[in-house]
Amino acid sequence: MRRMRRVAGRYGLTILTAEKLNAKTGKGGHALRDDESFKVIFGDKPLPFTATLDDIDAYLTKLEEGEE
């Protein structure tokens, strides 16, 4: 998680974590927010905070490789 937060910070992103448990997944989810616009750019479809840490890691890896 610490590494993902550092990578996200380099791109002006913040990893958000849901405070409440999600009834569908049984645990809180995550999302990525753009620090300039404060808009959630990943993890809000189909519902807010639906991204897992693996999803966030995959997104950040693609971002570092220049695919996003």
pLDDT tens digits, one per residue of 19-36: 776 555 556 689 999 999
Cα–Cα distance for residue pair 12/46, rounded to 1 Å? 24
The pLDDT tens digits of the residues spanning 48-66 come to 888 999 999 999 999 999 8
Cα–Cα distance for residue pair 65/17, rounded to 1 Å? 24
| Number of structural domains the chain divides into | 1
Which pLDDT belongs to residue 40? 95
- Provide the domain limits for residue 40: 2-64
